């Protein structure tokens, strides 16, 4: 069964850093492009960042550019999101999603940025 399991969320103060992980199973991770997508409380979906299967190409939304870094370790079947300089508006459930067309989603992890 194809599965994505996010971890690493929590409560963090503004200006702080947090690292999210997404463990993949049930498919060939190394051949799949991957995404992070977030959803602020009561709001819609917002694409955050994407990475190609090899990790050679990355893309990010303007709202996180220069603060968030997407990466992957194909030997560990794991996707990462390093989040720095966090702001209150980064508070959201963060999902990882497989492929640029997002055919499989994880259950999400909550990030709360608050003092």
Partner 1 sequence: DVVMTQSPLSLPVTLGQPASISCRSSQSLVYSDGNTYLNWFQQRPGQSPRRLIYKVSNRDSGVPDRFSGSGSGTDFTLKISRVEAEDLGVYYCMQAAHWPLTFGGGTRVEIK
For residue 103, state whether it binds partner 1 (rule: CB under 8 A).
yes
In the region spanning residues 17 to 46, those forming contacts with partner 1, defined by CB under 8 A, are: 35, 37, 44-46
Cβ at position 105, least distance to partner 1 in Å: 5
Residue 32 vs 60, nearer CB to partner 1: 60
Q: Residue 64: beta bridge partners?
A: none
CB neighbours (10 Å) of residue 42? 5
In the region spanning residues 64 to 93, those forming contacts with partner 1, defined by CB under 8 A, are: none
At a CB cut-off of 8 Å and minimum separation 6, what does 68 contact? 36, 48, 49, 60, 81, 82, 83, 84
Q: Which residues bind partner 1 (CB under 8 A)?
A: 35, 37, 44-47, 50, 59-62, 95, 97, 100-108
């Amino acid at each position: 069964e194809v599965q994505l399991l996010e971890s690493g969320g929590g409560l963090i103060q503004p200006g702080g850093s947090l690292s999210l992980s997404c463990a993949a199973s049930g498919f060939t991770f190394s051949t799949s492009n991957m995404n992070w997508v977030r959803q602020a409380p009561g709001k819609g979906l917002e694409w955050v960042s994407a990475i190609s299967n090899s990790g050679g190409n990355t893309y990010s939304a303007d709202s996180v550019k220069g603060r968030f870094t997407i990466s992957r370790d194909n030997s560990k079947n794991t996707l990462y999101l390093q989040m720095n300089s966090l702001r209150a508006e980064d508070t959201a459930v963060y999902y990882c999603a497989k492929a640029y067309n997002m055919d499989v989603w994880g259950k999400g992890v909550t990030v709360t940025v608050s003092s």
